[in-house]
A = this chain, B = another copy of it.
Amino acid sequence: MSRIAARLAELGLTLPEPARPVATYVPYRVVGKEVWVSMQGSVSGERRYLGKLGAGLGLEEGNEAARLAFLNVLAQLREAAGGDLDRIAGLIRLTGFIASTPDFTDHAQVMNGASDLAVAILGEAGRHTRSTLGVAALPLDFAVGIDAVALLA
């Protein structure tokens, strides 16, 4: 078992099946050593975080939503890396789209769910630059969406 796969098991985490393309866009694209990943939503099978922070959804749920969206990103990266998570040499950028009311201001705490998980799983390679913003709404009412640019070894 690879180092990162072992780390996932240790954390008791299982990656979701990577979402298949449902339209004319693709979930990821490899350009040289970079992988660009399409925005992944906070949903996986039965688990789903919908709605808005500041209107019904609390910080803890937002945090879980960000973790789930990040696991979806990671599932795409594993696919892009030919199944081998150890080939992920680094995360360059995560952008966190947080569906929120205009008066919500704790977007960073929500997005920490993703950032902390990235480092817990990938170690130093999981450190990333980050932009976090509160959006009016997301497709399918996702509470959180995350896209990424990463580096393959």
From B31, B137, B140, give the contact of A103 (CB < 8 A). B137
Which single residue of chain B is at the shortest CB-CB distance from A151? B31
Among A10-18, A21-29, A56-64, which stretch is in contact with chain B?
A21-29
Q: Name the distance in Å between A80's Cβ and chain B's nearest Cβ.
A: 11
State A37–B95 Cα separation when bound (angstroms): 12
When distances are taken between beta carbons in the complex, the residues of chain B under 8 Å from A90 are 29, 31
Count residues on chain A whose CB falls below 8 Å from chain B CBs.
55
Tell whether, in the assembled complex, residue A25 and residue B100 are in contact, meaning their CB atoms are under 8 Å apart: no
When distances are taken between beta carbons in the complex, the residues of chain B under 8 Å from A100 are 136-137
Tell whether, in the assembled complex, residue A129 and residue B92 are in contact, meaning their CB atoms are under 8 Å apart: no
Binding site for B on A (CB under 8 A): 23-29, 31, 34, 36-39, 52, 90, 92-95, 97, 99-108, 112, 115-116, 118-119, 126-141, 145, 147, 149, 151
Pairs across A and B, CB under 8 Å, 17 listed: A24-B112, A24-B119, A25-B94, A25-B128, A26-B128, A31-B90, A36-B149, A39-B132, A97-B133, A99-B136, A101-B137, A105-B139, A105-B140, A134-B137, A134-B139, A135-B135, A135-B136
